[in-house]
Amino acid sequence: MEQKTEVMGEAAVPTQEPERQMYFMEQVKALVKRRSEEKGRPLTCCINTFGCQMNARDSEKLLGILEQIGYVESDSEDADFVLYNTCTVRDNANQKVYGRLGYLQTIKRKHPDMLIALCGCMMQEATAVEKVKKSYSHVDIIFGTHNIFKLAELLYRKLAGEKMVIDIWEGTDEIVEDLPIERKYPFKSGVNIMFGCNNFCSYCIVPYVRGRERSRKPEDIIAEIRRLVADGVVEIMLLGQNVNSYGKNLEHPVTFAQLLRQINEIEGLERIRFMTSHPKDLSKELIQAMKDCEKVCNHLHLPLQSGSSRVLKVMNRRYTKEDYLALVDRIREAVPDIALTTDIIVGFPGETEEDFQETLDVVRRVRYDSAFTFIYSIRTGTPAAAMEQVPEEIVKDRFDRLLAEVQKISGEVCGRDAGTVQKVLVECLDDHKEGYVTGRLTNNTVVHFPGDASVIGKIVDVYLEESKGFYYMGKPVENMEG
């Protein structure tokens, strides 16, 4: 506690970012070092990430800061610093966090100087923060989605003696560049191109917790990717809630298609993925860029949400069933073997059996490689929360029928490359079969084949011997006879 006066000479604290955080990282590093010397071992940290790829990327940034400060990553939640990066897109994500917090309390009783922090989307909701304050007083630090770059400063305040440090921002225009990042995989990485969402689909809480759209400057994105490639990355996933509206709010507007073409030129980069595309903003220019750019993967995630034009209107999706199907046709015409995946919500308020049949109809026509299917979850504060809800048994029944259809089709389409040689980016050792590795095709389908750790991160030609529905068993081409 005495450190507050010792090191916190206000005049010395930079006001600009990222210098300010660099300053706090140095301060906390000294405190962590002292604690670690007292304990005679390094201090450990554990980040538990809930939700989407954006959160996964945020967690890499948070880990980058923690490692810079001197923490060593641990898989166990019995760590000196435990951080939950939360999600609130559906209620079950929130319930999981409350459940885990109860469990952490029992660990903290045995390990009282452990620090617990919460951040991410759920913390942008006032009701969640109130609940944590009231019922989970063992939490030490709470912050949101807009200020994850401030972790070192918040940790400093905690170590300097504040009881529960809470720092939630309503929104921000600020994008802080150049802080440390610790990647999970050496050979692939997410790259944020934009933050936030302006769409306000009527069921969705994301615009409320992630704020308005902000795009990073193309030069910052390109520089980051170049650095990643120099560090061994061959595949990147461009991340944004709605990548198709990238660049509209920049001082010098740039389209997503233009950005893709620039990234495609980066030497040493092999594969480009992106997520998520909103059908209403997927331009002809983008389809042409996908066709022209050889590094852009043969996969498009195109959330449908519902196949009923009536429901889509109430969802505020701003396309009809016909618009969506026509878009799929245009994409397939340009890139015939593209794998399409989607998100579908079942049981949106007012959904009738006829509406649901329209969704099944789109699923049968598009024949997705895979689909994430969700039961509608009421999000307080969104327009759909106030609408008349569909009874639970009906939703459950529709969900089961949709899942069966999706799985049947996916089993049929995923095997279409069996008997051919394809490029596989090897990701890891196979956890089910000794002497095998696991990788992905450009269309994202998983392949297992004989290999060892030396091929991880490499792109290998593999003969796809057998389709098992959702994955292939293969053989590296060098090992084949003849």
For ligand SF4, the binding residues (CB under 6 A) are 197, 199-201, 204, 206-207, 241-242, 278
CB proximity list for 315: less than 8 A, separation 6 or greater: 201, 202, 203, 305, 306, 345, 348, 384
Among 305, 308, 341, 370, binds ligand 5AD (CB under 6 A): 305
Long-range contacts at 96-104 (CB < 8 A, ≥ 24 apart): 96/50, 97/50, 97/122, 98/131, 98/136, 100/48, 101/132, 101/136, 101/138, 101/139, 102/136, 103/77, 104/77, 104/138
Binding partner of 377, given ligand 5AD, ligand SF4, none, CB within 5-8 angstroms per partner class: ligand 5AD
Among 71, 203, 246, 449, binds ligand 5AD (CB under 6 A): 203
Residue closer to ligand SF4 (CB basis): 242 or 308: 242
Among 46, 87, 209, 345, binds ligand 5AD (CB under 6 A): 345
Binding partner of 43, given ligand 5AD, ligand SF4, none, CB within 5-8 angstroms per partner class: none
Residue of minimal Cβ distance to ligand 5AD: 343
CB of 201 vs ligand 5AD, minimal distance in Å? 7
274 touching ligand 5AD, by CB under 6 A: no
Residue closer to ligand SF4 (CB basis): 338 or 345: 345
Binding partner of 200, given ligand 5AD, ligand SF4, none, CB within 5-8 angstroms per partner class: ligand SF4
Q: How far apart are CA 31 and CA 36, in angstroms?
A: 9
343 touching ligand 5AD, by CB under 6 A: yes
Q: How far apart are CA 413 and CA 56, in angstroms?
A: 29
Burial group, residue 420, by CB count within 10 angstroms (0-12, 13-18, 19+): exposed
Among 57, 61, 90, 317, binds ligand 5AD (CB under 6 A): 90
84 touching ligand 5AD, by CB under 6 A: no
CB of 409 vs ligand SF4, minimal distance in Å? 23
Chain centroid, CA 454 distance in Å: 28
Inter-residue contact 437 to 426 (CB < 8 Å): yes
Q: Is 76 left (phi over 0), alpha (psi -120 to 50) or beta?
A: beta
Inter-residue contact 159 to 192 (CB < 8 Å): no
Binding partner of 345, given ligand SF4, ligand 5AD, none, CB within 5-8 angstroms per partner class: ligand 5AD
Binding partner of 142, given ligand 5AD, ligand SF4, none, CB within 5-8 angstroms per partner class: none
SS3 for 116? strand
Find, among 203, 241, 211, the residue nearest to 381 by Cα: 203
Q: Which of residues 368-387 bind ligand 5AD (CB under 6 A)?
A: 374, 376-377, 379
Residue closer to ligand 5AD (CB basis): 343 or 465: 343
CB proximity list for 482: less than 8 A, separation 6 or greater: none
Binding site for ligand 5AD (CB under 6 A): 89-90, 203-204, 303, 305, 343, 345, 374, 376-377, 379
